[in-house]
Amino acid sequence: MGKFNRRNFLKSSLIGAGGALIAKPAISSTTPTGGNEKVITRTLGKTGLQLPVLSMGVMRADNPRLVTAAMDSGIVFFDTAYGYQKGKNEEMLGDVFKDYPRDKIIIQTKVLPGDRNRETDSYGPGATKESFLEMFETSLGRLQTDYVDILLHHVASSRAGVLHEPTITALQQAKKDGKTRFIGVSTHKNEPEVIRAAIETGVIDVITVAYNFKQDHRAEIGSAIADAAKAGIGIIGMKNMAGGFLDEEKQKPVNGKAALKWALRDPHVTTCIPGFTTFDELEQDIEIMTDLELTIEEMKELELAGEEMGLYCQGCTQCLSGCRKGLPIPEIMRSYMYAYGYGEMQKARDTLDEYRVQSDPCKGCTECSVSCAKGFPVADRVKNVSRLIDVPEDFIV
Amino acid sequence: MFRRILLFDIEKFIMKKPVFISIFLGLIFTINCIASGDEVSFPKLKGWRLDVSSKVYTPDNLWDLINGAAESYVSYDFVDLHLADYKNKAGTTIHAELYRHSSTENAFGIYSSERSAEYSFIPVGIQGYLDEGVLNFFTGQFYVKLYSTDSGEDVQESLKLIAEALSGHIGHNNEWPGLLAAFPPEGKLENMDHYTRENFIGFNFLHSAFTAEYEGGYKLFIISGKDRNEMLDMVRAYLKFTKQDIDPEQESSFTITDKYNGDIPVVLIGTYMAGIIEGADSEEAKKKLNQLVENLGK
């Protein structure tokens, strides 16, 4: 977990909530945009690219007019991938970009090496340098361009995945051939491990990483990002909206602007790529290009989000004195997080076994006397997760 | 790759520990990581070993498997995903993915969002296409994806064989979504029709839209409301955005002046709004729109 563990981060966050967290982010430079307003730009690591803090993740957009509207609004960086909409996403962008000077647009695309085991992020013999480059050539054709600015190894989720030799060789070959200016990886699973592996390669220029206010391990990601930035790697933030809703019923939408500002508070994050699909979302998001200050009101909304959806027990131990059964509640909450947050049943069960939690641990208590600082429904969570004890090991995947 | 839960194991467990039946079932449905779905099954094929994954993906965890692409599937009211591998003695493995959506319209929506007119189409399910090591088709509520990392003619034949078997097994409805038939056929580009469930042409107040592309570059669309009032609400929201003072209850044919998408001539009929995109000045497009409205009125 490194020197910056989750517990310390949460404590320091709570202490500093009134001041440090709403500090203005570092701004590297500004660029005029036609009007009087100034677009905030940052430098993407050693690439030297100056990018507005807001860019566009085109993944789900299928209306070329939305892309042109984004360009008219000052967005210059567009993220797509070989696999998005089975290539139609790149084709749509190619049709739009062909009418614009190539050097005014920054294009990032991503290729996922073939023959990949999605569950283990391991590659079979079919994941060759040649097949990777063949897919990339297809992307260039769809995009109607001779080169992209950034080519990424798509969805790396482990150290072994990042270090996959044929893929690294393919990326380097594409760069050497002038078909991409910079190379990198994208990740939204095991991000710290992937980021550190990317540093280890010594050849990665850019990392596009999931980074949002709801991630339980956001402090670890932030720490890894800082290390990457120190190594000169440019960081692009994605999945900043954390799924777009605060609740499972999808009745409480995330304040998108606040979520983007939260990610961009990290000065190492050069730009974010929200995947807006409506003009309304574009108009709202565009406001952060000139104003990154996270207001107290916005901060409260994000903190509220953390409290409402948080599965992470901060280990304050306030609950312990209240439990008549003397249960190891922080550890049971951790087990709950493994099961319900990460879907890691075996890990959840192991944690229960380690702390010798018995079947139906609340048996005999008619009313729960535990008080949780984060407001977790402790009795319900204990009851739900402890049912794992009754499931035979063979049935747990 | 897959962990299998054998039926007799479950039965033995239930027989031994009846008091835990409800707990066990509650857990597997709550956490949704252990059991496979109860309605979807894969056909057995002679000469092929079938391994059905015990893991069923839902909107809550589809992201774990296909990452960001999950958002597109969920936007088409994805219900669940069932996985299986078919393996034969020659060593060929075909991976099968059955994405179930809430309706044929939504299955067509996600299928058509990934379909290109240049594919080699084959008659399987409602429609499918075959590429090297890949066969995708849709039938009823299902978008089915078959693929193999093996190659060769026998793999292509295997893909077709398994697709036919799956289509026969799960395809209880092989009818195209009905509204597609309303588009005038003359000049319509093949395999360029789509269904968009939400955020049509970039507006969150427009949904449930079928589009068809025509020679000349224009598109016709049909937006289908649940009832006339809902359709009129969509139109009003659009007119509010464009700041146009038009009462859609009084006028059934007008042009929406959209600063992003250009001029959009529309006609309101029953529960439908029909219109033209990228062709407001085209007489041919207007003629086609009239034919479309006529077809919708039948």
Q: A343-356 pLDDT, tens per residue?
A: 667 778 888 988 88
Q: Residue A14: its pLDDT value, please? A: 26
Nearest to B218 by CA among B191, B189, B195, B239: B189
Our CA-based measurement puts residue A387 at a distance from the nearest CA of chain B, in whole angstroms, of 7
**CA atoms of A13 and A307, how far apart (whole Å):** 13
How many beta-carbon contacts under 8 Å exist across A and B?
Answer: 95
Mean pLDDT of A56-69: 94
The string of pLDDT tens digits covering residues B10-68 is 333 333 444 343 334 334 333 333 333 447 899 999 999 999 998 999 998 898 888 77
Strands (E), B57-133: 78-88, 93-101, 120-122, 127-131
Find the helix or strand (DSSP H, E) in which B21 lies.
helix B21-31
Q: Give the other-Cβ count within 10 Å of A379's Cβ.
A: 17
Q: Residue A216: its pLDDT value, please? A: 83
The structure's pTM equals 0.76
Which is higher by pLDDT, A307 or B16? A307
Inform me whether the C-beta atom of residue B12 falls under 8 Å from chain A C-beta atoms.
Answer: no
Mean confidence (pLDDT) of chain B: 87
Query: Domains, chain B, ranges and CATH?
Result: 10-170 (3.40.1000), 178-297 (3.40.1000.20)
**CA atoms of A170 and A375, how far apart (whole Å):** 50
Q: In this structure, are residues B177 and B112 in contact, taking their beta carbons and an 8 Å threshold?
A: no
Give contacts of A85 with chain B, Cβ < 8 Å.
72, 113-114
DSSP state at residue A21: G
Enumerate the β-bridge partners of residue B256: B264
pLDDT above 90 as % of chain A: 56
ipTM of the complex: 0.80
The string of pLDDT tens digits covering residues A20-55 is 333 333 334 444 344 445 899 999 999 999 999 999
Give contacts of B26 with chain A, Cβ < 8 Å.
387
Q: Residue A142: its pLDDT value, please? A: 97
Inform me whether the C-beta atom of residue A388 falls under 8 Å from chain B C-beta atoms.
Answer: yes
Half-sphere exposure of B22 (CA within 13 A, CB side): 1
Nearest to B235 by CA among B264, B192, B278, B277: B264
Q: Do A345 and B31 touch (CB under 8 A)?
A: yes
- Nearest CB neighbour to A115, from listed B34, B149, B262: B149
What token pair was written down for B68?
């960001």
CA closest to A66 among chain B residues: B202
